[in-house]
């Protein structure tokens, strides 16, 4: 089956079910930032009873925390993006790509039919999925050591 057909037929569940990192809305901004740093992730989902009520991303850190001198002791609920745009676990991958591109999202929480958070799909995971369909084209390219930096950004 071609990539195009897969995008139209496969659901988000086929991307894998990496356990999401979530946080209580009463937790502090400092705790949320620590989660982002400790897990090397770009967002934490803010949940109540395992259901998303918001999302706190690295962009929120810049726009709402650092730029406004928000105290690290502030509840994350005060600076999260709410409501979060979520996707159903049975949504097609192609539809999620459209949502990401149209909304400018890097991460989309995925919920089951009861609204329970199951995982988070990242733009990186989507691109990996696309690449998996023609790995020879992408992974066999030769490295050019002379042009590579010693570390990636943020490393």
Partner 1 sequence: MQCPFCACENMDGVDACVRCKVDLSDFTGSVEESDIERALLNRPLETIATKDYIEAPLEWSVGDTVRQWNEGGHHCAVVVDHGKLVGIFTERDVLRKLAGQWEKCRQDDISQHMTANPLTLDHDDPIALALNQMMIGGYRHIPIMRAKKLCGIVSVRDILSYYLSSRISSIPETI
Residue with tokens 């570390």: 151
SS3 percent helix, strand, coil of the chain, rounded to 5, is: 40, 20, 40
Q: Is 36 near partner 1 (CB under 8 A)?
A: yes
First-to-last CA distance in the chain?
A: 37
Note the helical H segments in 61-153. Answer: 93-103, 123-132, 135-139
* 2 is a contact residue toward partner 1 (CB under 8 A): yes
Determine which residue in the list 58, 74, 88, 89 makes contact with partner 1, applying CB under 8 A: 58
Q: Which of residues 18, 26, 39, 124 is near partner 1 by CB under 8 A?
A: 124
Q: Is 101 in the site for partner 1 (CB under 8 A)?
A: yes
Q: Which two tokens stand for residue 120?
A: 């988070």
* Residue 102: burial class (beta carbons within 10 Å; 0-12, 13-18, 19+): exposed
For residue 127, state whether it binds partner 1 (rule: CB under 8 A). Answer: yes
Binding site for partner 1 (CB under 8 A): 2-4, 7-8, 30, 33-34, 36-37, 40, 42, 58-59, 61-63, 65-67, 72, 92, 94-95, 97-98, 100-101, 104, 106, 123-124, 126-128, 130-131, 133-134, 136-143, 147-155
């Amino acid at each position: 089956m071609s990539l195009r057909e897969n995008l139209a037929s496969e659901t988000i569940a086929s991307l894998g079910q990496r356990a999401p990192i979530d946080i209580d809305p009463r937790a502090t901004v400092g705790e949320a930032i620590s989660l982002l740093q400790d897990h090397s992730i770009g967002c934490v989902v803010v949940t109540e009873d395992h259901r998303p009520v918001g999302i706190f991303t690295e962009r929120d850190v810049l726009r709402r925390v650092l730029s406004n001198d928000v105290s690290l002791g502030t509840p994350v609920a005060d600076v999260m993006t709410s409501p979060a745009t979520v996707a159903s676990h049975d949504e097609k991958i192609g539809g999620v790509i459209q949502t990401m591109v149209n909304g400018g999202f890097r991460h989309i929480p995925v919920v089951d039919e009861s609204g329970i958070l199951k995982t988070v799909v990242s733009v990186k995971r989507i691109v990996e999925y696309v690449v998996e369909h023609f790995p020879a084209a992408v992974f066999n390219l030769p490295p050019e050591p002379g042009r590579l930096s010693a570390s990636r950004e943020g490393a």
